[in-house]
Structure 1
Amino acid sequence: MSNKGVQLHIQDKQVVLDNGILQATFSNPGGTITGIQYNGIDNLLEFHNSEPNGGGYSTLNWSKVGRSGTSGKFDAIKGTSFKVVVENEEKVELSFARTWYPSLQHEHAPLNIDKRFIMLRGSSGFYYYSIYEHLEDMPAFNLDETRIVFRLKIDKFRYMAIADNRQRCMPLPDDRLPGRGEELAFPEAVLLVNPIEPEFKGEVDDKYQYSCENKDNRVHGWICFDPPVGFWQITASNEFKTAGPLKQDLTSHVNPTALAMFVSAHYGGEDHVLKFKSGEPWKKVFGPVFIYLNSVLDDNDTFKLWNDAKEQMKNEVRCWPYSFPESKDFPTSDQRGTVNGRLLVQDRYISENFISANGAYVGLAPPGDIGSWQREGKGYQFWTTADEEGYFTIKNIRVGDYNLYAWVPGFIGDYRYDVAITITSGCDIDIGHLMYEPPRDGPTLWEIGIPDRSAAEFYIPDPNPKYINKLYVNHPDRFRQYGLWERYADLYPEGDLVYTVGVSDYKKDWFFAHVTRKVGDGTYDGTTWQIKFNNDNAYQSGIHKLRVALASANVAQLLVRINDPKAEPPEFSSGLIGKDNAIARHGIHGLYWLFNVDIPSTRLLQGQNTIYLTQASNTSPFQGLMYDYIRLEAPPSTN
């Protein structure tokens, strides 16, 4: 490991950073990373002057206010001014900034953007962060997506790693082109029919098969075998990402590409688009993220690069918040605050005593309604998990006003602490014992599933043999195979799913997604599932409560009927909800929904009863729901 000081070389059209371990070259003043030299490889990046988006580059998608959807105008973020923020042998920080003017109204998003790069002495990599600002004199607009992208050498980086059990050799980008690849029903998915390397023939390549939840998206990247080199994107904190710990996003995929996603509508749809009003002041720091390079001397040790990258990730997490960024908009540890407390659960139908919120997700996010954190993206969020006794500590919180939110695995619904929390520099706040009372009116008559905001516990079929990704054969994430929605019609070619309480097993008998059935060329039917249960008439009067928690909804409409599949009006209608695309994008969950349906006892029969769940939207194969958990409660007990 070199101990050479960081050197900066400024040329007419490029800027070079060199610390003796690696050399990074940037376009001047654009700030595109045109080259990374490391371990004898002249350039780890696939960059040609004829490619507008080669190398390492930042982008955003934006649209005019009022436009629906999530795909806006593409904007390659290229700086128009270059500045050396700090330069010494210990570190160099560079700024490539772009200022917005009214004359650019139709060309660029109305944002001032400052892209920063930092190289440290002795560090095998470099850091990237960016500062986005919307000023009071700027017009309204929608920010659909923003990210930084690294396109690596195609002939070098063939092995991708996202997790211990999610890594493999990948196809070549040419395998996705017409003649070698066949585009499937969902456009990002391609069936490899004539790949350059025959071992990939018959596989599906789809970048969404490699998505990851924010809470788990700490390190991912690629390995080159000759020479043994790793390229890794490390995220030490998710405070700047949108929509909380369960938000899913892209990581690495064929090309070979490594991404740091900051804002996206993936797995949430338009609910995750940031919408700015005219004159709305806003500033946010995205990052820093760390681009880490590693190598080994012995070819037999190549796979140790992944383990080393994980260790480096742990070190980056320990060092968060970093002390070296020069921007006043990135506060250091002593400028932040801490919140401590304990979360308990009170559900008298489970226990007369308070229940510790073991494993609860507890976080601070901008003030909002209960559960608003999963749709919030303009501010910062800070999350942790409670210990076995429900105690939690949230550290390194930026100064500002927040609500405390939580959800507890094993219980439905969301918690919000009603008192706003103001974080000041250096504060350490103990908010004491908090009590979450999950939605509950009466004792459980029956339940289906586990309240964990995921459909993973339900029946996930084997994929169609024509649409296999070999990585996910006999894999815990079997839901990541392409085309599983089509298997419903194979399993239920005529009648729909019928689940009998006390007889059926949700692990085997409850299909993971409530989808449409194809009945003709481009024609689909809505489907109606039945839940059959026996009512012993123990409760003569009162209101039963049906709790329906959804793990996902995509342009869907849920109708609930009792004992009559054609009753009008239905007992409940969700209306048209959701655009999270989790079914088509192999996500096993999108946004969480909870519906509470009143069922008067007079609507139930003595003996056998049937609840009919209809997913009525039927214009595409991708419309549907994923259930998280369903429970029927008896009327409240009187004692």
Structure 2
Amino acid sequence: MTSTLQRIIDCFSDCGGCNKRKGNARQDMLNMNLNTNCAPMPHQGVRLHIQDHYVVMDNGIAQVTLSRPGGIVTGIQYDGIDNLLEVRNKETNRGYWDLYWNEIGGKGIFDVIQGTSFRVIVETEEQVELSFTRTWDPSLEGKYIPLNIDKRFIMLRGSSGFYSYAIYEHFKEWPGFELGETRITFKLRKDKFQYMAIADNRQRYMPFPDDRSNGRCQPLAYPEAVLFVNPMDQRLTGEVDDKYQYSCENKDLRVHGWICFDPPVGFWQITPSDEFRSGGPLKQNLTSHVGPTTLAIFLSSHYAGKHMVPRFEAGEPWKKVFGPVFIYLNSAAYGDDPLWLWEDAKIKMMVEVQSWPYSFPASEDFPKSEQRGNVNGRILVQDRYISIDYIIASGAYVGLAPPGNAGSWQMESKNYQFWTKADENGFFSIRNIRPGHYNLYAWVPGFIGDYRHEFVITIISGLGSTVCGRDILNYILMETWFTPLALVTTGEIGSLHRLSGR
């Protein structure tokens, strides 16, 4: 499947816009059969240009400019557009990693992360990987969060876009803090990107950022929500705008972004894995919104409050890798339906998901597939009020998260989580799990309560030996969940599925 999808992408010249297709490209894509032997055009190698204050990655499809040593994305050149990012903004307000933090008991501080040191990690024709680091020391106490932060940016040969990830590390000798949010933000050109897509049924022409200014809107109950009274597009009069309208649950938050119609160009943020996100599969996060702005949210307290804010005490070591995520750029020919770009972005998202974990990040803190483990099994439910026999847990959500009480994964925000959905017979497979200690958790649609496997599951990197009849990297589990009798319902309105839609 992966190779088939990759061939489809390659047949569109990686959607790099170098060789435009004629005709209805969207229909061509939908009609393409699985036996295509289309050969991709050869791509130039990746080139790195280091200047006094900037560094440029260029693979002939896209050109990405970053500040040096700050690691702020100041420009993205693609398909004849000199910069996809908002050129009216200051360079520090275009494409950046940021966080919101506070000292224990202190006030919150917003911080656009500026590197103080720049290194070239990999430089070949196949790949360039750059590092922009900010190192903490006691002289910075109260000014910067007590973390060493290493921001990475990667460009590959033939890839229509670039990747980014970061490594955050806190040493036990350092003071404590709370981390309310961290993310990547991209602010695109408002004269180019005016159509937003986050799902098949959630896409539209968006208001201009000017519509949120005084005289064009009225503030509502909180700063993010406004009522348009004199928008630039009068058809939007009376409409409410609020970035939280476009939130999405982690399990569905794989690709979102914007389309420019002249020329037809797409800008997409693809997140291939949830392992580094906080709060599990049902946690809602922001996506894209008026700006035009696109976000990759890794950790936030939205919809949960202080309970979702990780607190790190003095004496507590911590390290976590956020990402990589992929910034994907695609284009279409004039005359083609620009909305095809959304269809193509979804295909590219599937390719990225099936390629996880990536083999190319250079950091040893990002384990490759052969360094990870798998858990396979089946889950059944016993509820004597429904049946004397075991009930197949069809569609159960099953996941690994740090050890804790049943349901504790919902507030877990320091470490990694791995989730899957059981098939119609209750079988599940959780693959590519980072080394570590986990509990297995589950819940089943239609049943009240949370399940937790009583024993801690340990994944150890690089070990394939058998201990007590179980392969260390591949646990096989048969789990039976006894529903709590105290929670038996006598009536039901709607269905128990934990989703916000109903």
TM-score, length of structure 2 as denominator length: 0.88
Deviation at 1:181, TM superposition (A): 1.1
Which residue number in structure 2 is paired with residue 232 of structure 1?
Answer: 268
Q: In structure 2, how many angstroms separate the alpha carbons of the residues matched to 1:299 and 1:210?
A: 30
Q: In structure 2, how many angstroms separate the alpha carbons of the residues matched to 1:99 and 1:439?
A: 49
Q: Which has the higher contact order (CA 8 A, sep 6+)?
A: 2
Q: In structure 1, how many angstroms separate the alpha carbons of the residues matched to 2:254 and 2:239?
A: 27
CA offsets, 1:366-409, max 9 Å, x none? 11111100000111000000011111000000001100000110
Among 476, 494, 501, the residue aligned to 1:431: 476
Q: Check the 8 A contact 1:22/1:125 in 2, yes or no.
A: yes
Asked whether 1:376 is paired with 2:412, we answer yes
Rate the CA distance shift 1:280–1:377 in 2: closer, same or farther, 3 A: same
Which residue number in structure 2 is paired with residue 340 of structure 1?
Answer: 376
Which residue number in structure 1 is paired with residue 102 of structure 2?
Answer: 63
Q: Check the 8 A contact 1:346/1:435 in 2, yes or no.
A: yes
3-state SS of paired residue (2:218) = strand
Q: Which moved more, 1:219-228 or 1:55-64?
A: 55-64
Deviation at 1:445, TM superposition (A): 3.3
Which residue number in structure 2 is paired with residue 452 of structure 1?
Answer: 497
Q: Check the 8 A contact 2:282/2:499 in 1, yes or no.
A: no
CA offsets, 1:114-158, max 9 Å, x none? 000000000000000000000112100000101000000010000
Asked whether 1:145 is paired with 2:181, we answer yes
Gaps of 5+ in 1: 458-639
Q: In structure 2, how many angstroms separate the alpha carbons of the residues matched to 1:411 and 1:120?
A: 46
Alignment of 1:89-128 (within 5 A): 89-128=125-164
Amino acid across the alignment from 2:217: G
3-state SS of paired residue (2:336) = helix
CA offsets, 1:494-527, max 9 Å, x none? xxxxxxxxxxxxxxxxxxxxxxxxxxxxxxxxxx
Q: In structure 1, how many angstroms separate the alpha carbons of the residues matched to 2:489 and 2:287?
A: 41
Which residue number in structure 1 is paired with residue 445 of structure 2?
Answer: 409
Deviation at 1:430, TM superposition (A): 3.2
Q: Check the 8 A contact 1:47/1:54 in 2, yes or no.
A: no
Deviation at 1:66, TM superposition (A): 2.9
Amino acid across the alignment from 1:22: A
Q: In structure 2, how many angstroms separate the alpha carbons of the residues matched to 1:63 and 1:438?
A: 41
RMSD: 1.3
Q: In structure 1, how many angstroms separate the alpha carbons of the residues matched to 2:327 and 2:401?
A: 27
Among 369, 373, 397, the residue aligned to 1:361: 397
Deviation at 1:441, TM superposition (A): 4.4
Asked whether 1:9 is paired with 2:85, we answer no
Amino acid across the alignment from 2:220: L
Q: Check the 8 A contact 1:225/1:299 in 2, yes or no.
A: no
Rate the CA distance shift 1:189–1:172 in 2: closer, same or farther, 3 A: same
Amino acid across the alignment from 1:32: I
3-state SS of paired residue (2:93) = coil
Amino acid across the alignment from 1:272: M
Among 411, 418, 427, the residue aligned to 2:454: 418
Which residue number in structure 2 is paired with residue 19 of structure 1?
Answer: 59
Q: In structure 1, how many angstroms separate the alpha carbons of the residues matched to 2:473 and 2:321?
A: 24
Q: In structure 1, how many angstroms separate the alpha carbons of the residues matched to 2:220 and 2:485?
A: 44
Q: In structure 1, how many angstroms separate the alpha carbons of the residues matched to 2:295 and 2:436?
A: 29
Q: In structure 1, how many angstroms separate the alpha carbons of the residues matched to 2:92 and 2:282?
A: 30
Amino acid across the alignment from 1:14: Y
Q: Check the 8 A contact 2:74/2:92 in 1, yes or no.
A: no
Rate the CA distance shift 1:413–1:60 in 2: closer, same or farther, 3 A: same
CA offsets, 1:224-247, max 9 Å, x none? 000000000000001000010000
Rate the CA distance shift 1:441–1:62 in 2: closer, same or farther, 3 A: closer
Q: In structure 2, how many angstroms separate the alpha carbons of the residues matched to 1:53 and 1:361?
A: 41
Rate the CA distance shift 1:368–1:444 in 2: closer, same or farther, 3 A: closer
3-state SS of paired residue (1:136) = coil
Q: Check the 8 A contact 1:211/1:251 in 2, yes or no.
A: yes
Amino acid across the alignment from 1:440: L
3-state SS of paired residue (2:480) = strand
Q: In structure 1, how many angstroms separate the alpha carbons of the residues matched to 2:499 and 2:352?
A: 30
Deviation at 1:442, TM superposition (A): 8.6
Which residue number in structure 2 is paired with residue 470 of structure 1?
Answer: none
Deviation at 1:279, TM superposition (A): 2.0
Amino acid across the alignment from 1:116: R
Rate the CA distance shift 1:80–1:348 in 2: closer, same or farther, 3 A: same
TM-score, length of structure 1 as denominator length: 0.70
Amino acid across the alignment from 2:105: G
Which residue number in structure 2 is paired with residue 488 of structure 1?
Answer: none
Which residue number in structure 2 is paired with residue 215 of structure 1?
Answer: 251
Amino acid across the alignment from 1:28: R
Which residue number in structure 1 is paired with residue 29 of structure 2?
Answer: none
Q: In structure 2, how many angstroms separate the alpha carbons of the residues matched to 1:51 and 1:90?
A: 32
Rate the CA distance shift 1:341–1:269 in 2: closer, same or farther, 3 A: same
3-state SS of paired residue (1:232) = strand
Q: In structure 1, how many angstroms separate the alpha carbons of the residues matched to 2:490 and 2:272?
A: 45
Which residue number in structure 2 is paired with residue 604 of structure 1?
Answer: none
Q: Percent identity?
A: 64
Q: In structure 2, how many angstroms separate the alpha carbons of the residues matched to 1:18 and 1:415?
A: 49
Q: Check the 8 A contact 1:362/1:407 in 2, yes or no.
A: yes
Deviation at 1:444, TM superposition (A): 4.7
3-state SS of paired residue (2:190) = coil
Q: In structure 2, how many angstroms separate the alpha carbons of the residues matched to 1:14 and 1:428?
A: 44
Q: In structure 1, how many angstroms separate the alpha carbons of the residues matched to 2:268 and 2:75?
A: 16
Moved over 3 A (4+): 441-445, 454-457
Which residue number in structure 2 is paired with residue 30 of structure 1?
Answer: 70
Alignment of 1:221-260 (within 5 A): 221-260=257-296
Deviation at 1:443, TM superposition (A): 6.6
3-state SS of paired residue (1:62) = strand
Q: In structure 2, how many angstroms separate the alpha carbons of the residues matched to 1:419 and 1:285?
A: 26
Among 284, 290, 293, the residue aligned to 2:329: 293
Deviation at 1:415, TM superposition (A): 0.3
Deviation at 1:429, TM superposition (A): 2.5
Amino acid across the alignment from 1:434: E
Q: In structure 1, how many angstroms separate the alpha carbons of the residues matched to 2:501 and 2:208?
A: 31
Number of equivalenced pairs:
453
Q: Check the 8 A contact 1:81/1:96 in 2, yes or no.
A: yes
Deviation at 1:303, TM superposition (A): 0.7
Amino acid across the alignment from 1:60: L
Amino acid across the alignment from 1:151: K
Deviation at 1:47, TM superposition (A): 3.5
